[in-house]
Structure 1
Amino acid sequence: MIDVYSWPTPNGHKVHIMLEECGLPYQVHAVNIGKGDQFQPDFLKISPNNKIPAIVDSDGPDGQPISLFESGAILMYLAEKTGRFMPADVRGRFGVMQWLMFQMGGVGPMLGQAHHFRIYAPEKIDYGIDRYTNEAKRLYGVMNARIEHTGAYIAGSDFTIADIAIYPWLRSWQNQGIDWADFPQLKAWFDRVGARPAVQRGENVLADQRTTTRTEAEKEVLFGKTQYQRR
């Protein structure tokens, strides 16, 4: 059994989708990041950077429990555990990994900043909005060209953890200032991935607990001094 400590965010949904795609038994433990659950001592033991998601697999690679944080590392672990969604050959494996790193180093951070400056920032700062909206459009352009090249999925002809990592971040395309008409190949990929039953099940994990707006108290926890306290 895999215990998943998570919340319905793009990074959380990556792991939810992967678990559903692999058919692994798991139990979800909600970590309400708006209320500060991510700062609880028990959670910090498995996720010292106070970020979701994190997992504890009672049946680790040596038969002993293993805990992991960082969604990209979790996807790689689950791919290796199940032998799914990651090529076995070296060339194919690194082809997938480079696009996984692209998501972790670019898509997630930059689209996250676009969300922040466009939606959550207490002041509307034109420079920040323009910078990250333009970067979002640039990244969408990179992915659109990639899908035009492969004709199917991010890393090639097969669905992999690279697709699982990227897809949840694009669900909020409107908040990122994106017009799908500018990225038709990527839109076709987005619809193709979103039609997978396991993806739909993963998207629904904890979905009933997420709200579309943030209270001032939640904003303070997520973006204010609480976030930066030493623990």
Structure 2
Amino acid sequence: MLNFVVGPLGRVPGVAWRRALNTQRRMADYSLYYFPTPNGKKISMMMEEIGQDYDLKWIHIGKNMQFSDEFVKVNPNSKIPAIVDHTRDDMAIFESGAILEYLAEKHDPKLAGGEEIEQRYKVKEWLHWQIAGFGPMLGQNNFFHLYSKVDDPIGKERYLKESLRLFGVLDKQLSENKYICGDELTIADIACYWWSYSPS
């Protein structure tokens, strides 16, 4: 559960979780370095799903806060999201997929596929599918269609075509299953949700 927002007060776009702004409390078990991108939202969604307290550390990427000395100590690659686990001597973890796997393993192994190796690797397949293809291709599609200052018809066509193909793969999988990997919610669903929801 989100406890405290470090950064601009008020509504954080795209996040609908509780905000208790009480500074006179114990430190949460986790700090989440966050900006409301699909990758950032994956981790806040996961924290809510597993019911963990966390402090939200606002990293405004439009203002280059990800290059600050403080954040580079947490993630040398200067990308959000990242977490710090205060229950493990302030261990820092970056990359959204690694964070999802860590939190599932620590708090709810069923979200990573449970005890059966076949199911665990099915979840890993789809998690890596999102990380390696679905997210990056949709990100490029969004860039060329929404943010690029130069009209690039080749880039637009390439990434739109690949994004549509990937949506077809996901749509087929979901037509055969309640969730991506079967009957239960997993980190594969959490990874894909915000990219499916984002404009493209």
Using the size of structure 1 for normalisation, the TM-score is 0.72
Deviation at 1:90, TM superposition (A): 1.1
**Paired residues for 1:53-92 under 5 Å:** 53-60=81-88, 64-84=89-109, 85-86=111-112, 87-92=114-119
1:51 equivalent to 2:79? Answer yes
Residue in 2 aligned with 1:169?
195
* C-alpha RMSD of the superposition: 0.9
Residue 132, structure 1, aligned to residue 159, structure 2: yes
Question: Which residue number corresponds to residue 158 of structure 1?
Answer: 184
After superposition, the C-alpha distances for 1:166-213 in whole angstroms (9 at most, x for unaligned) are: 0001112xx42xxxxxxxxxxxxxxxxxxxxxxxxxxxxxxxxxxxxx
The answer for the alignment partner of 1:123 in structure 2 is: 150
Matches of 1:135 and 1:146, distance apart in 2 = 17
Judging by fraction of residues, say which structure has more helix.
1
C-alpha displacement of 1:65: 2.6
Instruction: Give the aligned residue type for 1:164.
Output: I
Q: Equivalents in 2 of 1:33, 1:65: separation in Å?
A: 23
Identity %: 44
Q: Residue type matched to 2:101 in 1?
A: M
Is 1:39 matched up with 2:57?
no
Residue identity matched to 1:131: R
> What is the one-letter code of the residue matched to 1:25?
D
> How many Å separate the matches in 2 of 1:170 and 1:144?
10
**Gaps (5+ residues) in structure 2?**
1-28
When normalised by structure 2's length, the TM-score is 0.83
Letter in 2 for 1:156: G
CA–CA distance in structure 1, aligned partners of residues 142 and 93 of structure 2 = 27
The gaps in structure 1 that reach 5 residues or longer are 177-231
- The aligned amino acid for 1:171 is Y
Partner of 1:112: 139
Q: 1:3 aligns with which of 31, 37, 40?
A: 31
Contact 2:50 2:108 in 1 (8 A): no
Is 2:35–2:60's contact at 8 Å kept on the other side of the alignment?
yes
Residue in 2 aligned with 1:99? 126
The separation in 2 between residues aligned to 1:157 and 1:134, in whole angstroms, is 30
2:57 partner SS: strand
Structure with the bigger RCO (C-alpha within 8 Å, sep 6+) is 1
What is the rounded CA distance, in whole Å, between the counterparts of 2:127 and 2:182 in structure 1? 13
Displacement over 6 Å in runs of 4+? none
Number of aligned residues = 170
